[in-house]
Structures are given as C-alpha cells and as structure tokens.
C-alpha cells in the first residue's frame, strides 16, 4: 500500500470520527434526535435545562470519550511496537491495577477532597505503579523489555489480590468499586476534561515524534541501536508519556478494556505497521470505537446506562478472535 | 334433610378438631424459599443473619433470645452487644454451630450457598425475602408465630397496618397530577437510583409521589440527562451512617452546576434519608414511609424532622 493510499485511509478515519461525534451529540433520551443537534447552533432559544444537557453533559462527555479512546489506542500501538509483542495493552505496566488500588484506598480511607478525590488517588497510584514496574524492570542502566513485561504482570497479580482484599473489606461501599472497575463516562464534566487535556497537549506530539524510532524497534532493539536510535532513551520517554496518558484516562473513566489492544491490530491489518501512519490512524479509530461503545452504553437499555468498559470487551473480544483466526498478517 | 345433618355434623367436627390438630404443631410457617419450618417448642436461641431480621426480633420483644447477629446490626443499639456471626454476606458457619441455635433467620442478602449449607446441617433456617411493605408485615407475623410470640406479633402487625392505612388513606385522595415527581439518588458516579420493585419506589408511591425512575427495574444506573429531562420537584439523597460520602452526595446534588436547573434543587427540596431506615425490611418500614410522606406532602403530614 502506497503512502497516498494510507493517507487517504487516515483521512477517512478522521471523517468517520467527525461524523460519529456529530451523531453522538444528537443522542438523547435513548435515540438520535436531529432537533438536539440543531439546538447546538441556537443556544439562546434553549431553556436552562436543555442548555445544560447539551453543553454541560453531552459535550464534555463526548470530548472525554474521544480523548480517552485516542489515548488508549495510541498507547496500545506504541507499547505493542516498543515491546514487539501483540498481546501488550496500555495496562501492561500495571496501570489499571494500580489505579484500582488507588480508587479502593480513596473509598476505604474515607478521605474526601471533593470530587477530585477518586481521580486523584487513582492517577497517583497508577503512576506510582508504573514507576515501580519500571524500577523493578531496570537492570543496571538498561531496561530489558521482557523483564519489564514480566515485572508488570507480577505487580498486576499482586495488586489484583490487594483489590480483591479491598473489595472484600469494602462491604457496603462495594458498589462504588464495582462501578469504577467496569469503567464508564457516567459523570463526565468539564472538570474532568480540563484535568486530562494538559496531559494530551504535551503527550500526543511527543508520541507522534517518535514514529521513526518505533519503526526501527520493529527490527529488534539491536538493529535499532545500530541504526543510531538511542534505545534506552526512547524506551524511557515513550513509557513515561504513555503511562501519563493511560493513568490520566484511567483516573477519569476507570478501566476500559480492549480498545487499546484491538484498535492498533485493526489498523495494522489495514495499513501495515509503519508507525508514521499506524499512530495517527490508531488515534482516530480509537476515538471512534470508544465513542460508539459509549453511544451503545447510553441507548441499549435506556434510561439505564451500561458500563462502557463492559461493552468494549463484549464487542472487542469476539472481533479480536476473528482477527486472530484470519491470520492474514502475522504480527 | 339428612344430608344437611351430615354436612353440619361434618363441619362441626372440623371446627372442633382443627384447633386440636393445629395445637399439636403450633410453631410452623412456610418461608420465601417454599421451605416449611416446624418447631416443637418456642426457640430460645435465635440467630439473625441480617439487620432487618434483628430489628424484627427486637420489635417482637425477643431480645433475650437472640444469641447471634451480624456486624451490621446496629438498631436498636442493644443489638451491638450481641455475639457476632460475621457480616451479612460472609458468615462464620462454625460460630453458628457453636452457638447451638434453635432458629436462624436468613434474609435475601444471605448467600444461597450459606442457606443451603445451613439446611444440609439440619439447622432450623427460616428465610425472609420481603420486597414490599405488605410482605414485611407478613414476615413479622410469621416470625412471631415461629417464635411463640403470636400475641405481641399480632399487636405489632396491627399497629403497622393501621399506620400504613392512615398514610395511604390520605395519599389516595391526592389526584394524580398533584403527585410530585420524586427522584431518589443512591450514588452520583454513576448516577444510581431506585426503580420499581424497590422499597423506595413503594415509599414514594404510597407517600403520594411519583418516582421518576419507575420505568427502571430495581436499583440501577440512570442516564444523567434524564434527571434534567424528567425534572423532579423533590430529590431524596441516601445518607450512610457515619460515612463522609453522605455529605459528598448531598453536596453533589445541591452544588453541581449541571443540576441547577432541576426544580428540586432550585426550590431547595433535597432531603437526606437514612440508608438503613429505607433499605431494611423490618418494623421501621412504616417510619420510613412516614418520613417520605412528610418529605413529599409536608402540608398533610407535617414537616420532615428525622431523629
């Protein structure tokens, strides 16, 4: 596939995302309403509650979903490339279990700093976990990727046990924990968007600027090094930036599975594994996929809202198996 | 003519014999699982497996016969001094066995496996699974029969039924369009509410209100937008005992920018209700109903002043 064709596909993905965003803004009361969409352009004619619904509930939710979807699939693509392992997902360094432990601590300790408490705790714990894994995976000045991967898995198991213990002890507060673990954009507000946005503005350009280095990693670390890539520095920076992005996502929306694992694979099947196209394409497709998962979560059982994290795994797992069975392109 | 005689004699015989038959098995009742428990004598060592059951036992004057309760049983305060057999979902079977109970009251919160295990061990288990106020009253009557305190049981049942009737007699007169829309919120992230088939729904309906989430079954999440769209004029907020999140939840409802257009918030009609009071199937359901009646119709039932 030539560059022009790949760029066309990215353009199509952008158009799909924009159309999905517009469609999502019109979803209310369990169905799509054109009138809702038109209302966005004439806010003065709306009542306070209609204005609140559109501009303070639906819009921040849309933006948050897009940001988280982009962050997860982009991080997934980067980490899969870095570790040269198709099973790697954004949570591989223990971020999700770290974030969950943070959430449990926030709930059980009863510390209350307002509505920021839970996101703050999960963010700090998620990052701390990543640093712990990076530290454990470091041998001398080097960070051997397979050791780090195993360290991440081991810490993940350890923290899962802590989570189970916390949930066992949580008793009546169990429901909060269950919701957090299922992931969702239930209570998205501008506050959450504003907290997440700086991480994005700084993180995304950095990740994109490492496309060439990631391409070199495809040939193995040794070859990358011989090609003049500062392997250790690249690993350090990319692990740090993706950890920040994923920890930020986890702190505002809980653990949303499968998007970060499956979306990069889909893109690889379509346009190959050149990171210069793979990264932006994953970015846009990840947003769209999570947006649609959220649309389904709000409409399938309306007025009941389903957890998005459950939907992504429900839809993602069978699709992933289908991709595996096709075996068209090996990893 | 002789036929009538025979039938009359037959009826008289039944009338005479039936009390004798029932007297030989005085303590028998069928529980929510379809299990019929018969006790040869009134129990002296009762274990309660839920806070609601404990409240029922205390209300029936059986406090001296209670030998075991759960760690959640805090009402009345004397319940705190009783021996603990675990919390509601994790129950220490060995502890139960050492306490040698002659009646165990399980609840809808007790895990099925635990109830099965207790049956396997041939322990006298009786399971209460009420989902409505009427069923709570029925269950109280059953427990009083099983425990040999039918008299105090029927007195309690009568008081509850009378008080229930007092409230519903008044709220029945309220025309439908004058029934305020009520939203009950249990948690804010996600918004978690009580739909139909819950005690809350019954409280709201019996108290002369309309639950805005009645199209939802049981306890469930609800789309945030729906609160604004359905625009309740009263919001009840769950308040946990001694936990800080009751303030958090109340604060959320009263101060979150997105809820400012909701009539209940504008008119300052957001009320805290005690989570234990409104969720326990026990003798205090009527008090909970009374509180809801005061919240929804203060002009009829007086101002809401929870203790």
B231 touching A (Cβ < 8 Å): yes
> Is residue B77 classed exposed, middle or buried when 0-12, 13-18 and 19+ CB atoms within 10 A define those classes?
exposed
CA distance B261 to chain A (A): 5
B261 vs A contacts (CB less than 8 Å)? 47-49, 52
Residue B51 CB: number of other CB atoms within 10 A? Answer: 24
| 0.95 surpassed by pTM | no
Across chain B, what does the average pLDDT equal?
91
A224's enclosing H/E stretch is helix A221-226
Nearest-CA residue of chain A relative to B231?
A49
- Structure confidence by residue, pLDDT tens digits, A234-255: 998 999 999 999 999 998 998 8
Determine what percent of chain A is predicted with pLDDT higher than 90.
41
Is there a contact between A186 and B215 if contact means CB atoms under 8 Å apart?
no
Chain B contacts of A304, Cβ < 8 Å?
216, 220-223
Q: Which of the 8 DSSP states describes residue B49? A: S
Chain B residues closer than 8 Å to A112 by CB = 244-245, 247-248
Do residues A115 and A192 make contact, with C-beta atoms less than 8 angstroms apart? Answer: no
Global ipTM: 0.83
**From the list B223, B243, B260, which residue is nearest A302 (CB)?**
B223
Q: What is the DSSP letter of B180?
A: P
Question: Is A32 within 8 Å of A26 (Cβ atoms)?
Answer: yes
Residue B18 Cα, gap to closest chain A Cα (Å):
48
Please name every residue paired with B91 in a beta bridge, in sequence order, or none if there are none. B86
> Which of A55-64, A194-203, B32-41, B234-243 has the lowest average pLDDT?
B234-243
pLDDT, tens digit (0-9, with 9 covering 90-100), for B14-26 = 666 655 555 555 6
Confidence of residue A84 (pLDDT cuts 50, 70, 90): confident
- Report CA-CA distances (Å) from A87 to A81, A213, A240, B157: 11, 21, 20, 62
For residue B100, the model assigns a pLDDT of 95
Q: Check whether B225 has a pLDDT greater than 70.
A: yes
Contact B225 A171 (CB under 8 A): no
Backbone angles phi, psi at B286, to 5 degrees: -70, -40
Give me the residues paired with residue B105 across strands.
B48, B126
Contact A57 B226 (CB under 8 A): no
Q: Which DSSP string do the residues of A294-319 spell out, in sequence order?
A: HHHHHHTTTTS---HHHHHHHHHHHH
A278-331 pLDDT, tens digit per residue, is 999 999 999 999 999 999 999 999 899 999 988 998 888 888 788 777 755 554
Kindly list the residues from chain B whose CB atom is less than 8 angstroms away from the CB atom of residue A306: 221
- Name the residue of chain A whose CA is nearest to B260's CA: A49
Number of residues assigned to chain B: 307
pLDDT band at B242 (very low <50, low <70, confident <90, very high): low
User: B224, A303: Cβ pair inside 8 Å?
Assistant: no
Instruction: Write out chain A residues lying below 8 Å of B90, CB-based.
Output: 168
More confident call, A231 vs A13:
A13
CA distance B88 to chain A (A): 9
The pair of structure tokens assigned to A221 is: 């670390």
Which DSSP helix (H) or strand (E) runs through A28? strand A27-28
The answer, yes or no, to whether residue A167 has pLDDT greater than 50, is yes
pLDDT at A54 over 50: yes
Q: Give the pLDDT band (50/70/90) at residue B47.
A: very high
Preceding omega of B76 cis (within 30 degrees of 0): yes
Residues of B with CB below 8 A from A296's CB?
none
- The predicted model gives B193-210 an average pLDDT of 96
Residue B1's pLDDT is 59
**Which of B213, B224, B240 is nearest residue A187 as measured by Cβ atoms?**
B224
> Nearest 5°: phi and psi at B183?
-120, 130
Beta-strand ranges (E) seen in chain B are: 27-30, 36-39, 46-48, 66-68, 103-107, 125-128, 181-188, 191-194, 210-211, 219-221, 234-239, 270-274
Cβ contact (<8 Å) for A179 and B247?
Answer: no
Confirm if A208 and A10 have CB atoms less than 8 A apart.
no
Please answer yes or no on whether A49 and B216 come within 8 Å at the CB atom.
Answer: no
- Regarding beta strands B219-221 and B27-30, do their DSSP bridges make them parallel or antiparallel, or are they unpaired? unpaired
Chain A positions touching B224 (Cβ under 8 A) are: 57, 186-187
Query: What local confidence, expressed as pLDDT, does residue A41 receive?
Result: 84
CB contact under 8 Å between A187 and B190, yes or no, is: yes
Enumerate the residues of chain B whose CB falls inside 8 A of the CB of residue A186: 189-191, 221, 224
Judge whether B218 is closer than 8 Å to chain A, CB to CB. Answer: no
Instruction: Dihedral sign for Cα A309, A186, A172, B199, please.
Output: negative
- C-alpha A287/C-alpha A186 separation (Å) is 17
Per-residue confidence (pLDDT) for residue A328, from 0 to 100: 56
- Give the Å distances, CA to CA, from B40 to A86, A242, B27, B28: 68, 69, 7, 9
Flag whether pLDDT at A176 surpasses 80: no
Mean of the pLDDT values across residues A6-14? Answer: 95
List, in sequence order, every residue forming a beta bridge with B69; answer none if it has no partner: B84
Q: Hey, are the CB atoms on A305 and B221 less than 8 Å from each other?
A: yes
pLDDT at position A209 over 50: yes
**What does the pLDDT look like over B245-300, one tens digit per residue?**
557 788 889 999 899 999 999 999 999 999 899 999 999 999 999 999 999 999 99
Report the alpha-carbon distance of residue B255 to residue B269 in Å, rounded.
13
SS3 state of residue B285: helix
**Long-range contacts for B197-205 (Cβ within 8 Å, ≥24 apart)?**
B197/B131, B199/B131, B199/B132, B199/B133, B199/B278, B199/B279, B199/B281, B199/B285, B199/B288, B200/B236, B200/B278, B202/B132, B202/B133, B202/B289, B203/B278, B203/B288, B203/B289, B203/B292, B204/B292, B204/B296
A46, burial (CB in 10 Å: exposed 0-12, middle 13-18, buried 19+): middle
B273 strand-pairing partners: B238
């Amino acid at each position: 596939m030539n560059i022009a064709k790949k760029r066309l596909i990215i353009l199509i993905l952008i158009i799909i995302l924009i159309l999905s965003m517009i469609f999502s803004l019109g979803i209310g009361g369990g169905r799509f309403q054109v009138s809702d969409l038109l209302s966005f352009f004439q806010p003065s004619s709306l009542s306070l509650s209609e204005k609140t619904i559109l501009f303070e509930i639906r819009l921040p939710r849309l933006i948050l979903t897009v940001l988280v979807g982009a962050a997860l699939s982009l991080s997934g693509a980067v980490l899969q490339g870095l570790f040269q392992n198709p099973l790697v997902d954004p949570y591989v360094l223990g971020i999700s279990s770290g974030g969950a432990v943070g959430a449990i601590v926030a709930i059980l300790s009863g510390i209350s700093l307002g509505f920021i408490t839970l996101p703050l705790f999960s963010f700090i714990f998620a990052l701390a976990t990543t640093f712990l894994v990076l530290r454990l995976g470091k041998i001398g000045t080097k960070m051997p990727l397979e050791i780090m991967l195993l360290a991440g898995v081991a810490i993940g198991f350890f923290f899962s046990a802590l989570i189970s213990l916390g949930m066992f002890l949580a008793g009546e507060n169990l429901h909060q924990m269950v919701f957090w673990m299922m992931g969702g954009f239930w209570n998205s507000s501008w506050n959450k968007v504003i907290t997440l946005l700086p991480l994005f503005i700084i993180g995304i350009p950095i990740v994109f600027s490492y496309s060439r280095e990631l391409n070199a990693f495809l040939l193995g670390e040794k070859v990358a090094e011989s090609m003049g890539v500062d392997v250790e520095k690249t690993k350090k920076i990319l692990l740090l930036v993706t950890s920040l992005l994923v920890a930020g996502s986890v702190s505002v929306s809980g653990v949303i599975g499968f998007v970060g694992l499956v979306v990069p694979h889909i893109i690889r099947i379509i346009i190959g594994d050149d990171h210069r196209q793979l990264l932006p394409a994953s970015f846009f497709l990840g947003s769209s996929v999570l947006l649609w998962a959220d649309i389904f979560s709000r409409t399938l059982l309306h007025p009941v809202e389903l957890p998005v994290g459950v939907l992504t795994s429900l839809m993602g797992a069978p699709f992933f198996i289908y991709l595996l069975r096709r075996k068209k392109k090996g990893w | 003519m002789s036929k009538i005689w025979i039938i009359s004699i037959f009826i008289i015989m039944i009338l005479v014999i039936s009390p004798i038959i029932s007297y030989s098995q005085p303590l028998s009742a069928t529980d929510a699982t379809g299990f019929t428990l018969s006790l040869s004598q009134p129990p002296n060592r009762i274990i309660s497996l839920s806070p609601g059951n404990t409240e029922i036992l205390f209300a029936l004057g059986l406090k001296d016969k209670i030998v075991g309760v759960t760690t959640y049983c805090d009402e009345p305060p004397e319940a705190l001094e009783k021996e603990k057999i675990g919390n509601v979902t994790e129950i220490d079977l060995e502890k139960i066995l050492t306490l040698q109970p002659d009646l165990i009251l399980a609840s809808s919160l007790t895990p099925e496996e635990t109830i099965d295990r207790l049956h396997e061990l041939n322990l006298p288990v009786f399971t209460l699974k009420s989902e409505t106020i009427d069923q709570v009253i029925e269950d109280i009557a059953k427990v009083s029969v099983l425990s040999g305190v039918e008299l105090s049981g029927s007195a309690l049942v009568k008081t509850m039924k009378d008080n229930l009737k007092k409230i519903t007699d008044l709220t029945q007169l309220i025309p439908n369009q004058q029934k305020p829309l009520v939203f009950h919120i249990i948690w804010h992230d996600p918004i978690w509410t009580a739909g139909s088939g819950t005690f809350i729904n019954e409280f709201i309906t019996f108290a002369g209100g309309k639950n805005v989430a009645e199209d939802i079954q049981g306890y469930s999440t609800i789309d945030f937008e729906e609160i604004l769209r359905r625009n309740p004029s009263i919001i009840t907020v769950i308040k946990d005992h001694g936990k800080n999140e009751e303030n958090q939840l109340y604060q959320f409802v009263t101060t979150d920018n997105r809820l400012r257009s909701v009539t209940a918030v504008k008119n300052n009609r957001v009320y805290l209700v005690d989570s234990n009071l409104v969720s326990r199937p026990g003798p205090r359901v009527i008090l909970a109903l009374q509180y809801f009646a005061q919240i929804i119709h203060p002009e009829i039932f007086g101002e809401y002043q929870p203790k």
